Structure 1
Amino acid sequence: MADVVFKTTAGSTLQYFKRGDGPLMIISPPAWGLSSKYLQETLTPLEQTFTLIYLEFRANGKSTRPDPSEMSCWHLADDIEYLRQELGLEKIPHLLGHSGGGTIALWYAIRYPEKVDRLILLNHTLEGFNDGKSMKEAIVEKSKNPKMHAALKAWTASWEDLSDEGFAQVIRSFLPVYFYDPDASTRSTELSNIQSVSLWNYQLLHGSDRNVHYQEPELGKVTAKTLMIFCQADPVCTPTQGEATHKGMPGSKLVIYEECGHFPWMEMEEETFRDIVEFCT
């Protein structure tokens, strides 16, 4: 696996990892402190078909921490553009983003529509979209399962003043809620054993300090062929967000899995990788 650190045209430093063989696919992870490690661990079946480039966004891995005013999903889309330039690509053949990483990938497709061919969004957040009703309904449904009670309590506890290590403990405790089957939360060693998550990153991207840019009015700018995968048991990025995105991008394809949570390729591996490969080939 290649581990590359490069200087951008703006003078910042970005890191990426290169694995696999085949057509290029850039992987856009959430930038709020998880890094790309959980994706490197669990997306390996795609490396049989694609060369995967796992980008570490600013303030993640060895990438430079920016001024807080430039730590928004809208700004982070520029990191994908810096990577495209570094790789010497006229156009990104395939861009895949998960969760908040999907938000950044979608911003890239909005801001640089001529620079991406195919866009794959896995349980992405549509920035600025009010999904409170669907999220509450999903949490209520999960609360019916006794196995979820301790995990749900972990997230509702106060964490504003936690250390990065304390915040990681909250993430580990809450992790089962992200899955349809809470026992499936152990399928990622990186996630279930994570020891430190940057609260600085999280606050700027999803917390009280965030600078929100609204994506819904901008969706018509996307020209990339787009596949979206959502899951009925995802309490964080509900299918309602996928439906709203699809409405703004009528030519896109929306797939919704039943009995599956926030990480479809971990709970429905065969279906997820099949749908991605078929869309891209």
Structure 2
Amino acid sequence: MQDVLFKTTAGSTLRYFKRGNGPILIVTPPGWGLGTSYLQEAFKPLETTFTLVFLELRGNGKSSRPAASEMSCWHLADDIEHLRQELKMEKISYLLGHSGGGTIALWYAAKYPNKVDRLILLNHRLDGFDDSKSMKEAILEKAKNPKMHAPLKAWTTSHENLTDEGFAQVIRSFLPMYFYNPDAFYRSKELSNLQSVPLWNYQTVNGVDREAHRQEPELGKVTAKTLMISCRADPVCTPAQAMATQKGIAGSKLVIYDECGHFPWLEKEETFRDITDFCSS
């Protein structure tokens, strides 16, 4: 595996990890501090088909930290453009983002429509979309399961004054509710053993003071062939967001999994099949 630090044309430092064989598939994680390790663990089955490049976004790991005002998903999309230039790619053939990383990848496809061919959004969040109704319904459904009670309680825990280690502990406590089967959380060693997550990142990317950018009015700019995978038991990036995205991107494809949560590869074995089929179609 290659582990590379590079200077961008903007003067910042970014890091990426490269592994596998085949055409390049750039993978974008959320910007709020979860990092790329859980995705490197998850996407090992794709290494025989693609060269996977995992981008460590600004403010994460060894990538340099910008001003808080430059940590919105709209800003973070420019890190993908810096990576494209660093890799000397005329065009990104395959760009995949998970969760908030999908938000960032979607912004990239809207801001740089001529620089990406195929876009894959796994359980993405649609920036600025009011999904409160669907989220409430998902939470009420999960509350019927006694195994979800402790994670739901942890989800509402205040984290304003936590250390990065304390924040990671809270995340470990509530992540089981992101699954259809809460026990599936433990299938990921990286997620179930999170030790430190930078609270600063979360507060700047998702906090109440963050700069608001709405994606819905920009979706018509996306020309990339687009696949969205969404899951009915995802309480934070619900199918309602994916359906709104599909409506805005001409010709886009949406697959919705039943009995599956926010990390589909841990609950649905067809996840990688659907990704590879889309890329080869």
In structure 1, distance between residues paired with 2:264 and 2:209: 30
Q: Which amino acid aligns with 1:179?
A: F
**1:226 partner SS:** strand
Aligned to 1:167: 167
With structure 2 as the length reference, what TM-score do the two structures score?
0.99
The RMSD of aligned alpha carbons is: 0.6
Q: Which amino acid aligns with 2:78?
A: D
**Deviation of the 1:156 alpha carbon:** 0.9
In structure 2, distance between residues paired with 1:208 and 1:195: 25
**Deviation of the 1:157 alpha carbon:** 1.7
Aligned to 1:124: 124
**Deviation of the 1:250 alpha carbon:** 2.9
Aligned to 1:27: 27
Determine whether 1:274 maps to 2:273. Answer: yes
In structure 2, distance between residues paired with 1:195 and 1:221: 39
In structure 1, distance between residues paired with 2:250 and 2:115: 20
**Deviation of the 1:262 alpha carbon:** 0.2
In structure 1, distance between residues paired with 2:182 and 2:122: 19
Consecutive unaligned residues of structure 2, counting only runs of 5 or more, are: none
Q: Which amino acid aligns with 2:243?
A: E
In structure 2, distance between residues paired with 1:196 and 1:222: 35
With structure 1 as the length reference, what TM-score do the two structures score?
0.99
Please list every run of at least 4 consecutive aligned residues from structure 1 whose deviation after the TM superposition is greater than 3 angstroms.
none
In structure 2, distance between residues paired with 1:42 and 1:96: 13
In structure 1, distance between residues paired with 2:69 and 2:153: 32
Q: Which amino acid aligns with 1:148?
A: M
Consecutive unaligned residues of structure 1, counting only runs of 5 or more, are: none
Alignment of 1:57-72 (within 5 A): 57-72=57-72
**Deviation of the 1:209 alpha carbon:** 2.3
Aligned to 1:205: 205
In structure 1, distance between residues paired with 2:162 and 2:133: 28
In structure 1, distance between residues paired with 2:243 and 2:135: 14
Aligned to 2:51: 51
In structure 1, distance between residues paired with 2:27 and 2:137: 30
In structure 2, distance between residues paired with 1:47 and 1:31: 23
Q: Which amino acid aligns with 1:172?
A: R
Asked whether the equivalents of residues 69 and 210 of structure 2 are also in contact (C-alpha less than 8 Å), the reply is: no
In structure 1, distance between residues paired with 2:249 and 2:116: 15
In structure 1, distance between residues paired with 2:67 and 2:206: 16
Aligned to 1:237: 237
In structure 2, distance between residues paired with 1:209 and 1:66: 16
Aligned to 1:98: 98
**1:48 partner SS:** coil
In structure 2, distance between residues paired with 1:160 and 1:212: 21
Determine whether 1:147 maps to 2:151. Answer: no
**Deviation of the 1:92 alpha carbon:** 0.2
Q: Which amino acid aligns with 2:279?
A: C
In structure 1, distance between residues paired with 2:209 and 2:85: 30
Aligned to 2:14: 14
**1:52 partner SS:** strand
In structure 2, distance between residues paired with 1:159 and 1:81: 33
Asked whether the equivalents of residues 24 and 51 of structure 2 are also in contact (C-alpha less than 8 Å), the reply is: yes
**Deviation of the 1:164 alpha carbon:** 1.0
Aligned to 1:255: 255
**1:144 partner SS:** coil
Aligned to 1:221: 221
**Deviation of the 1:202 alpha carbon:** 0.5
**1:27 partner SS:** strand
In structure 2, distance between residues paired with 1:206 and 1:76: 13
In structure 2, distance between residues paired with 1:262 and 1:245: 17
In structure 2, distance between residues paired with 1:155 and 1:207: 15
In structure 2, distance between residues paired with 1:246 and 1:90: 26
Give CA deviations for 1:219-276 in whole Å, capped at 9, x if unaligned: 000000000000000001000000000011131000000000000111102x110110
Aligned to 1:81: 81
